[in-house]
Amino acid sequence: MRNTIYLLLTSILILSACAEEEHWDSIAPGHDAGDFSFLLAHEEYAEPRSAESLTGKSQPGAASLRQTLSNYDRVEFVVVDEAGNRVNGVKGLYDKNSSTMRLEGLHAGAYRILILGMKGDPAADQATIHPINHISEVWLSFPEELAKPLDGEYFYSVTPFTVREVSTASGHEVIAEIPERIVQRRIVGRMDFAFSYNNPYIRTAVTSNTVTLNSNSRFYTQLSGEGLYSGASNGEMKVLDLSEQTEYLFMPTIQGGSVTGDATLLTRDYRGSATRRSYTFELDSVTGNHIGQVEIQVVHPDDEIGTMFITDRAYAEGQHGLILQDDEPHAIYTDKTLRNFNTTRPLQLSITPEGQLHARFYSPRALNNVLVRARIPSAGNEYVDLAYFDHIPPFADFYEEVPLLKKAWYFRSESGKIVKMPLMQADDFSGIEFKIESDDPYLEKLKGIIHGWNIRFHLFDGDPTKPDGGPVGNWMGIRPVHCREAVAFFLNFTYMIDMPEHEEILRANEDRLYGNGGVNDKVSPDVVLRQMRQERTLNVGLVYPGNGVIGLGGGSSYGVWQKGWLTHYNNTYACEIMFHELGHVMGYSHSSAFTYGPWAQELMNHFYVNHLHEMPIDSPSYLNSSTNPNLYPQ
């Protein structure tokens, strides 16, 4: 059903929204009155110009201006005679979907049709549509004390036309001579604010951006039926918040009047300081159907600071990638050159051959307030503040060009000095070294991982693209959801091996630790700790449980069944399997305490679950893998 608007015109015709297709049928062609239709369109914004009034006469076929069909939310119109007096008894209909307007009820004569089109809700602007009896009267008005930009757009046109009677074989017919398309223009103008920054990291560090207009900035408040502006605002205007929008609608400024004001920016820097800067501006005028551009060149104390300040806004605008996501192809996440990490270095930092800072984060948790310091041998021996991140998301894969490729910048050194770093080529970053600082307690947990294991992901000939994982022997295709859990488990495990409480439980149960020779083959806690803290490289996979096997381990291979990866946080049986296979990795057989014995079945599994709250990944909620749609059916 078409969205149509029906009206009966006595003085002013208010077209409110409805959806009554039968209204078209109620207007039948007559022999005594004209019945005709036309399209409503409007011009797009033109270049700024000075103008006091809007005559608004239609200029169909003006190819120099872009035109758009109206699709107004509300339409008002008045038909006047040659003397400008209102004509009564006209019926009309506006169809929003087709932008078509139809009139019926006019006899032979010369007329003008005055049309107001509206986009938005006039009530939000406290707009008043006045009944008029003559074209010279005020038709549309806004309060003098409105004190805010307009929410809606208002369009106006006045179009002359004639209706005449023509004799036909059956009698006579009424014909209207009116353009097939009436093109309107906005009675309002737009004021746009744009800011130019010498340092891109200042733009994304703005915390507040407001505009205050001076009281001498005054706008017309009235429009007559013939399109003349009158009235004036009282000069009061609320503070405009440019963080919400940068384009504002106003009635035109009164004759000879400009718009003046102040733009105030509050910014923060990566060290927690705030800076307030104000800039005055003047716009010659606001003109109907035109855009007035206010351009402000931001001069800021941090203009020459080269630290990459990656605020949340800057990070979002960069649209940086993520690793180990569900849609990542297995050819990538199982490529050891593309996806591998050591648990002591889950945040991998480097400079690419193209000169980009690359930050890749193997972590189910975000890291907040991260300062990256770098020592660049070609530029000195001291670490400088190269980058600061408000947040590094879980499994982040961040790439951004280092500003030093564009020009020389100043940086704060580790000792607190401000040093100038020269323009560089990508090769100049050779040998760069990084330090990471943060007040986030999570970083302290990660720094507590002293003895790291190298983790990679392996298919073992399984096929993750198949619904059953394409099992081959006791393995099936590992998917990203399992890889992410492997990251969580091995961060926790390698943190656990250096926990003082973990060492204490081993020493308290020294007599229960035995090797492959059975209970008489005693293994000291020091030996166990050395074996657990020895750097190892594991190819991590997913075990296929269909053959009755739920865990495999030994040498550089390690894997458990899907439920093990999902429930290692709080399921002591799952943890028993995890540690059983770790026992094999450490070189122990089923005759030892490290597989079917107290180390795996009692000490480690219970310690892991009971101390989870102390570990880096202290909850399954970070990954919430149990609800992931890419799991295999269990």
Query: What is the value of pTM for the model shown?
Result: 0.84
pLDDT in tens, 502-521: 999 999 999 999 999 999 99
Q: Are strands 34-43 and 67-69 parallel, antiparallel or unpaired?
A: antiparallel
pLDDT of 5 strictly over 60? no
pLDDT at residue number 172: 74
pLDDT of 362 strictly over 70? yes
Q: Are strands 240-241 and 206-213 parallel, antiparallel or unpaired?
A: antiparallel
pLDDT at residue number 331: 98
Token code pair at residue 157: 């046109």
Strand partners, 75: 15, 117
Least confident of 23-27, 249-253, 561-565: 23-27
The proportion of the chain whose per-residue pLDDT surpasses 70, expressed as a percent, equals 91
Least confident of 52-61, 286-295, 411-420: 52-61
DSSP 603: I
Is the C-alpha dihedral spanning 58, 60, 65, 66 positive or negative?
positive
pLDDT of 415 strictly over 70? yes
Coil, helix or strand at residue 391: strand
Rounded Cα distance between 228 and 469, Å, is 75
Contact (CB, 8 A) for 410 and 306? yes
Rounded Cα distance between 286 and 246, Å, is 15
- What number of other Cβ atoms are within 10 A of residue 531's Cβ? 18
Ramachandran angles phi, psi of 427, nearest 5°: -65, -20
Kindly indicate the confidence band of residue 36, based on its pLDDT and cuts at 50, 70 and 90.
confident
pLDDT in tens, 262-314: 999 999 999 999 999 999 999 999 999 999 999 999 999 999 999 999 999 99
Q: Give which of 96, 114, 78, 127 is closest to 249, Cα–Cα.
A: 127
Coil, helix or strand at residue 301: coil
Rounded Cα distance between 560 and 3, Å, is 61
Contact (CB, 8 A) for 604 and 579? yes
CB-based burial, 314-328: b 16+ in 10 Å, e otherwise: bbeeeebeebbeeeb
pLDDT at residue number 463: 98
Place of tokens 């209706």: 163
pLDDT in tens, 241-257: 999 899 999 999 998 78
Place of tokens 């703005």: 206
Contact (CB, 8 A) for 562 and 486? no
Rounded Cα distance between 261 and 290, Å, is 20
Kindly indicate the confidence band of residue 35, based on its pLDDT and cuts at 50, 70 and 90.
confident
Average pLDDT over residues 129-158: 97
> Which amino acid is it at 483?
C
pLDDT at residue number 124: 97
Contact (CB, 8 A) for 313 and 419? no
Share in percent of the chain as helix, strand, coil (round to 5): 20, 35, 45
Contact (CB, 8 A) for 161 and 42? no
CB-based burial, 29-53: b 16+ in 10 Å, e otherwise: eeeebbbbbbbbbbbeebebeebeb
pLDDT of 53 strictly over 60? no
- What number of other Cβ atoms are within 10 A of residue 422's Cβ? 11
**Strand runs (DSSP E) across 120-254, as ranges?**
128-129, 138-141, 153-168, 171-177, 181-186, 189-197, 206-213, 222-224, 229-230, 240-241, 247-250
pLDDT in tens, 219-245: 999 999 999 999 999 999 999 999 989
Cα 402 to its chain centre, rounded Å, is: 23
> Which amino acid is it at 255?
Q
Across the chain, mean pLDDT equals 91
Ramachandran angles phi, psi of 22, nearest 5°: -65, -15
Kindly indicate the confidence band of residue 346, based on its pLDDT and cuts at 50, 70 and 90.
very high
Coil, helix or strand at residue 467: coil
In the chain, what is the straight-line distance between the N-terminal and C-terminal CA atoms, in Å? 49
